[in-house]
């Protein structure tokens, strides 16, 4: 539902035999609530051709600690080749230490 507006609210109040007091104000949040977010394209316009230039990355916390003591699983997917790179980390802060040198080697 939404905000009915002043005129409809007064008509409904009169129909229900209600006494309306005070001044009705125009609330901007009703208009904001009705706004719609702009559609985004699901596929990028330009396809990346340079290896390692655009990467999708994700890091996930594992429920169990691995035999090597790792708690996090790091996944990177190259946008150009769709190659996947995976590494296990003991702490999130290791991403900087391990992934950036890996990218420089590509």
Q: Is residue 77 part of a domain?
A: yes
Q: Which domain does 11 fall in, by range? A: 1-35
Say what the pTM is. Answer: 0.53
pLDDT at 60: 93
Q: Is residue 64 part of a domain?
A: yes
Q: Is residue 4 part of a domain?
A: yes
Please state the domain count of the chain.
Answer: 2
**Statement to judge: residues 22 and 62 lie in one domain:** no
pLDDT at 1: 46
Cα 55 to the chain's mean position, in Å?
A: 17
**Statement to judge: residues 101 and 59 lie in one domain:** yes
**Statement to judge: residues 65 and 101 lie in one domain:** yes
Residues of the chain with confidence (pLDDT) below 50: 1
Helices (H) and strands (E) in the chain, counts: 3, 3
């Amino acid at each position: 539902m939404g905000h009915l507006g002043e005129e409809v609210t007064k008509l409904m109040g009169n129909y229900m035999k209600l006494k309306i007091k005070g001044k009705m104000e125009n609330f901007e949040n009703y208009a904001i609530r009705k706004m719609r977010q702009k559609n985004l394209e699901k596929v990028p316009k330009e396809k990346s051709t340079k290896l390692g230039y655009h990467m999708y990355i994700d890091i996930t916390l594992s429920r169990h600690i691995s035999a090597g003591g790792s708690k996090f699983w790091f996944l990177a997917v190259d946008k150009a080749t769709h190659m996947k790179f995976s590494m296990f980390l003991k702490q999130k802060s290791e991403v900087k230490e391990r992934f950036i040198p890996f990218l420089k080697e590509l």
